[in-house]
Amino acid sequence: MGDLDESELLTVLTPPLPASPLEVVGNGDDGAVLAAPDGRYVVSTDVLVEGRHFRTDWSTPEQVGRRAAAQNLADVMGMGARPTAMVVSLVLPGSTPVAWVRGLASGLGQTCRRAGAGVVGGDLSAGDAVVIAVTVHGDLEGRPPVLRSGARPGDLLVHAGDLGSSRAGLALLSAGLDPESRPADGQARRCIERFLTPVPPLEAGPALAAAGASAMMDVSDSLLRDCGRIAAASGVLIDIDDPADDPADEARGAQDRRLAGARVALEPVAALAGETDPAAAARGWVLTGGEDHGLLATVPPGTVLPAGVSVIGRVHDPLTAPGVLVGSRPWEGPLGWDHFRA
Amino acid sequence: MGDLDESELLTVLTPPLPASPLEVVGNGDDGAVLAAPDGRYVVSTDVLVEGRHFRTDWSTPEQVGRRAAAQNLADVMGMGARPTAMVVSLVLPGSTPVAWVRGLASGLGQTCRRAGAGVVGGDLSAGDAVVIAVTVHGDLEGRPPVLRSGARPGDLLVHAGDLGSSRAGLALLSAGLDPESRPADGQARRCIERFLTPVPPLEAGPALAAAGASAMMDVSDSLLRDCGRIAAASGVLIDIDDPADDPADEARGAQDRRLAGARVALEPVAALAGETDPAAAARGWVLTGGEDHGLLATVPPGTVLPAGVSVIGRVHDPLTAPGVLVGSRPWEGPLGWDHFRA
C-alpha cells in the first residue's frame, strides 16, 4: 500500500461504503452536512487499536470492519436512536496490503448497510499500527433519548442479544484454536464468529425506546460493570438473575431463565477451551464477558417486550447505596473488561 | 499513567473541557445528544498521530491539544459553519505521564472555549503511540453550506490567516533550533509558534459565508493543492498571485499584495533556517507549505470582504481543463503535503 497516495487509497476505500439517508452534502468537502429531522442528533465515538481490539492473524479485514461498525452502531442503539451516518478515521502502516484495506471497507460497508446508515467522511494517516476511530450519528425519531439514569425501583431488567459468546470465542482462540478450524460444536463455532464480529440487536434499541424503556445502554464492557453504571446513574439497586440457577426451574417463567440458559449453553464451550470448572467459567463469561454489544435496559412492570428481549433481573430501592447483586447476593469476583487497561 | 484505570483517567481529562452550547445530553451515556437548531449539522473528522503530526519533544501537550482542536475546528469553518461540539478518541501508551494527558486536555479545552465549542464525549484506549482522533460538529445558522464546487469565472480568490508560517517553523526546528530557544527574530519565533499551534481565523468562516462566498475550504495541505481541489470541483481555472511579485508594486492595491508580502516576511526566516536561496524557499513555503489552516474562498466581484480577508488571485474559465496557475504561468514544482505519505 506504500505505493498509493491518499487519493488513490480513497478510490480503494470509498466504493464499498453506502451513502447516508440523511446526507445533505456527502464526502468530498471539508465536512459533510447531515439532516436532523427532529432538531437533535445522537453522536458517539469508539476507537479500535490493532493488537488491543483485534488481531490481524485472528480476524479477516472484513471482520475488523464489521466489528468497528457494529460496536459504534450499538452505542447509538443504546440511546434508543436509529443510526444514520458515520465518519471513519484510519491510521494504516505503509505495509498494509491494499486487499486488507479493501476488505476493511467492505466489512464496514456491509454492517452500515444492514443498519441503514452511511459513511459520510473520514481521514487517513500513516502510522505504526492500525487504528480505526469511528464517530457515529443517530436520529431519535422524535423520541426522548433513553439515558442510564432513568431506572426506577420496581422496573424489570431486560436484555437483547448475546451474553458471554464473545468472551467464550476469545477463550477458544486463546487456547490455541485456529479461527479457520471451525470446530464441530456449533455453539463453539458461533462463539468464535461472535468474538470476531459481534452482532448487536440494532432494531431492539428503537423498539425498546418506543416501548417505554426507562434506562438503556449497550453492553460493551460486561453485564455486571454496565449494570453498575445504570445503578449508579439511576441511584438504584439492580439484582441480576444468577446464571447458576436451574434453567428448568418450573417456578419461573421461560423468559426469566435467559441467563441460566446462556450459562448452560456455554458450558461445553468452556470445557473445550480447557476450563477446569466449566460451569463456573460459563457463569463468569455471562456476567463479566464483554464485547457482545447486546442491549441492556430497564422497563416499567407490564411493558410489552419487543421480540428478542428477555427479563434478566429486577430494580430495587438502593437500601444503603446504589449497586448490583447477583441472585440477591453481592458479587465478589472481577467486573470484566476495562478498555483502558486491556 | 499505567497505574490509572479508565475512570481515573477521565477525572484527569474531563475537567478542562467545556460543555457545548447545543448540548442536550452531555458525556456519560452511550452517546451525547446535540441540538440542531436549523435541522442540519456539519460533521468533520481528523486524526493526529504522534511522530507524524506532532513530536512530543517539540510540542508541549497543551500545544498538541490546541493543534488537534484547531485543525478540526478549521474544517467546520471551511464549510461556513460555527463549531459547536466535538468528540475525542485518544490512544495513549501506558508510559504517558499523567501531566501530559492533563496538558493535552487543557490545550483542547482552551481552543474549544475560544471557538465557543464543547467536548461532549470520547473514547480511550491503550496503544503504542499517541493517536488523537477528533470529530467536530458545526451549526450552519440557517445559511447554505459553502462547498468547494461553487467557484465561478470572474470570482476573486481570497484568503484569511497564515500562509507558509507553519512550514517555516518546521524548517527552523528541522534545522536544529530548539523550540524553547525563542530566536530574537520576531517572525522566526512566530513561525515556530504557528507550526506548534496553528491559529485558524475561525470567525472568518461564518463571516465569509454570510458575505456570499461561492466556494470555501480550510487550507490544510497547501495553497496550491487546495486551490487545485476548488478548481477541479468547480470546473474553473484559478490564477494565484505570484509571491515573487514586487510587494511595493504601485499598480496593484494593497490588498492585492498579500502573497508577495508573506514571501518577503518569510525570507529572513528561510535564511535563518539555512536555505541557500531564501527568496525561492519563502515563495515555495507560501504556495506549498501546509498546516496553517487558513481559509481559502472565492467570492463574486464586488463582495465586501470581512476583516482579515485579502485577495490573492482570480477565477477564470477553464480554457482547456480545470487547473491552477501561479502568476498566470503553470506551476511545475511539488504541490505540498500529502497526509498519507507524510
Kindly give, in sequence order, each residue whose CB lies less than 8 Å from that of residue B290, ignoring residues fewer than 6 positions away.
B166, B167, B219, B220, B221, B222, B225, B336, B337
Residues in chain B within 8 Å Cβ distance of A294: none
Q: Are residues B322 and B305 in the same domain?
A: yes
Average pLDDT over residues B92-99: 94
227-246 in chain A: CB under 8 A from chain B: 233
Answer yes or no: do A28 and B233 touch at CB < 8 A. yes
pLDDT at A1 over 80: no
43-72 in chain A: CB under 8 A from chain B: 43-49, 51-53
Is B316 exposed, middle or buried (CB count within 10 Å of its CB: 0-12, 13-18, 19+)? middle
Q: Which of B41, B42, B89 sits opposite A47 (nearest CB)?
A: B89
pLDDT digits (tens, 9 = 90+) for B36-47: 999 999 999 999
For residue B212, which of B74, B80, B71 has the smallest C-alpha distance? B80
Return the higher-pLDDT residue of B246 and A270.
Answer: A270
Q: What is the pLDDT of residue B253?
A: 63
Residues in chain B within 8 Å Cβ distance of A129: 127-129
Contact of B181 with B169, CB cutoff 8 Å: no
Q: How confident is the model at residue A342 (pLDDT cuts 50, 70, 90)?
A: very low
Torsion of the alpha carbons at A211, A217, A219 and A224, rounded to the nearest 10: -100
Judged by DSSP in three states, A198 sits in coil
Q: Are residues A171 and A104 in the same domain?
A: no
For residue A86, which of A72, A74, A75, A100 has the smallest C-alpha distance? A72
Q: Are residues A21 and A123 in the same domain?
A: yes
Answer yes or no: do B148 and A35 touch at CB < 8 A. no
**B285 within domain boundaries:** yes
Q: Which amino acid is at B88?
A: V
Q: How confident is the model at residue B59 (pLDDT cuts 50, 70, 90)?
A: very high
Last residue of a domain, one of A139, A159, A189: A139
Shortest alpha-carbon distance between residue A241 and chain B (Å) = 24
Question: Which of A124, A340, A341 is the best residue to mutate to test the B interface, defined by the most B CB atoms within 10 Å of its own CB?
Answer: A340
pLDDT digits (tens, 9 = 90+) for A41-89: 999 999 999 999 999 988 999 999 999 999 999 999 999 999 999 999 9
pLDDT at B34 over 60: yes
Average pLDDT over residues A172-179: 85
Q: Are residues B170 and B153 in the same domain?
A: yes
Last residue of a domain, one of A139, A158, A192: A139
Answer yes or no: do B53 and A120 touch at CB < 8 A. no
Q: Are residues A115 and A169 in the same domain?
A: no
Q: Which of B126, B233, B338 sits opposite A342 (nearest CB)?
A: B126
Q: What is the CATH number of the domain that holds A91?
A: 3.30.1330.10
Residue A141's φ and ψ, nearest 5 degrees, are 50, 35
Answer yes or no: do A39 and B39 touch at CB < 8 A. yes
**A210 within domain boundaries:** yes
For chain A, percent of residues with pLDDT exceeding 90: 79
Q: Are residues A222 and A96 in the same domain?
A: no
For chain A, percent of residues with pLDDT exceeding 70: 94
Kindly give, in sequence order, each residue whose CB lies less than 8 Å from that of residue A93, ignoring residues fewer than 6 positions away.
A126, A127, A128, A129, A130
Please tell me whether A323 is known to bind a ligand.
no
Q: Which of B5, B48, B145 sits opposite A340 (nearest CB)?
A: B5
Mean pLDDT score of chain B: 92
pLDDT digits (tens, 9 = 90+) for A183-209: 667 889 999 999 999 999 989 999 999
Name the domain count of chain A.
2
Q: What is the pLDDT of residue A253?
A: 63
Q: How confident is the model at residue A255 (pLDDT cuts 50, 70, 90)?
A: low
pLDDT at B125 over 80: yes
For residue B287, which of B231, B242, B230 has the smallest C-alpha distance? B242
Q: How confident is the model at residue B166 (pLDDT cuts 50, 70, 90)?
A: very high
Q: Are residues A270 and A168 in the same domain?
A: yes
**A336 within domain boundaries:** no
Answer yes or no: do A39 and B36 touch at CB < 8 A. yes
Q: What is the pLDDT of residue A62?
A: 97
What does the block give as the cell for B117?
A: 465549542
Q: What is the pLDDT of residue B255?
A: 58
pLDDT at A20 over 60: yes
Q: What is the pLDDT of residue A341?
A: 44
Answer yes or no: do A37 and B39 touch at CB < 8 A. yes
Answer yes or no: do A29 and B76 touch at CB < 8 A. no
pLDDT at B32 over 60: yes
Q: Does A192 touch chain B (CB under 8 A)?
A: no
Average pLDDT over residues B195-219: 95
Q: Are residues B118 and B170 in the same domain?
A: no
Answer yes or no: do B49 and A126 touch at CB < 8 A. yes
What does the block give as the cell for A107?
A: 466489512
For chain B, percent of residues with pLDDT exceeding 70: 94
Spatial distance between the Cα atoms of B201 and B293, rounded to a whole number of angstroms: 8
Contact of A202 with A73, CB cutoff 8 Å: yes
pLDDT at B252 over 70: no
Q: What is the pLDDT of residue A252?
A: 65
Kindly give, in sequence order, each residue whose CB lies less than 8 Å from that of residue B50, ignoring residues fewer than 6 positions away.
B56, B129, B130, B131
Which of A65-74, A173-182, B256-265 has the lowest average pLDDT? A173-182
Q: Are residues B213 and B293 in the same domain?
A: yes
Q: Which amino acid is at B208?
A: L
Spatial distance between the Cα atoms of A170 and A166, rounded to a whole number of angstroms: 6
Q: Are residues A125 and A236 in the same domain?
A: no
Residues in chain A within 8 Å Cβ distance of B233: 28
For residue B155, which of B208, B90, B199 has the smallest C-alpha distance? B208
Q: Are residues A110 and A163 in the same domain?
A: no
Answer yes or no: do A35 and B32 touch at CB < 8 A. no
Average pLDDT over residues B53-82: 95
Q: Does B28 touch chain A (CB under 8 A)?
A: yes
Last residue of a domain, one of B139, B168, B201: B139
H-type alpha helices, chain A: 6-13, 61-78, 98-115, 165-174, 186-196, 204-211, 223-234, 258-272, 278-288
93-122 in chain A: CB under 8 A from chain B: 120-122
Answer yes or no: do B30 and A217 touch at CB < 8 A. yes
pLDDT digits (tens, 9 = 90+) for B314-329: 999 998 889 999 999 9
Beta bridge partners, B87, equal B121, B135
Residue B45's φ and ψ, nearest 5 degrees, are -140, 145
Mean pLDDT score of chain A: 92
Please tell me whether A277 is known to bind a ligand.
no
Q: Are residues A126 and A158 in the same domain?
A: no
pLDDT at B341 over 50: no
**A57 within domain boundaries:** yes
Average pLDDT over residues B192-199: 92
Answer yes or no: do B40 and A24 touch at CB < 8 A. yes
Spatial distance between the Cα atoms of B224 and B238, rounded to a whole number of angstroms: 10
Residue A271's φ and ψ, nearest 5 degrees, are -65, -45
Following DSSP, what letter does each residue of B30-96 receive, concatenated?
A: SSEEEE-TTSEEEEEEEEEEBTTTB-TTTS-HHHHHHHHHHHHHHHHHHTT-EEEEEEEEEEE-TT-
Contact of A194 with A292, CB cutoff 8 Å: yes
Residues in chain A within 8 Å Cβ distance of B88: 45
Range of A304's domain?
148-330
**A338 within domain boundaries:** no
Q: Does B10 touch chain A (CB under 8 A)?
A: no
**B89 within domain boundaries:** yes
**B342 within domain boundaries:** no
Q: What is the CATH number of the domain that holds A204?
A: 3.90.650.10
Q: Does A334 touch chain B (CB under 8 A)?
A: no
Q: What is the pLDDT of residue A337?
A: 60
Average pLDDT over residues A240-262: 81
pLDDT at A338 over 60: no
Question: Which of B295, B340, B341 is the best residue to mutate to test the A interface, defined by the most A CB atoms within 10 Å of its own CB?
Answer: B340
- Name the one residue in this structure whose C-alpha cell is 528541522: B174
**B337 within domain boundaries:** no
Q: Does A249 touch chain B (CB under 8 A)?
A: no
Q: How confident is the model at residue A129 (pLDDT cuts 50, 70, 90)?
A: very high
Q: How confident is the model at residue A254 (pLDDT cuts 50, 70, 90)?
A: low
Q: Does B202 touch chain A (CB under 8 A)?
A: no
Which of A24-28, A201-205, B14-18, B40-44 has the lowest average pLDDT? A24-28
Q: What is the pLDDT of residue B342?
A: 39
pLDDT at B35 over 50: yes
Residues in chain A within 8 Å Cβ distance of B87: 43-45, 135
Which of A45-54, A172-181, B265-274, B295-304 has the lowest average pLDDT? A172-181
Answer yes or no: do B121 and A43 touch at CB < 8 A. yes
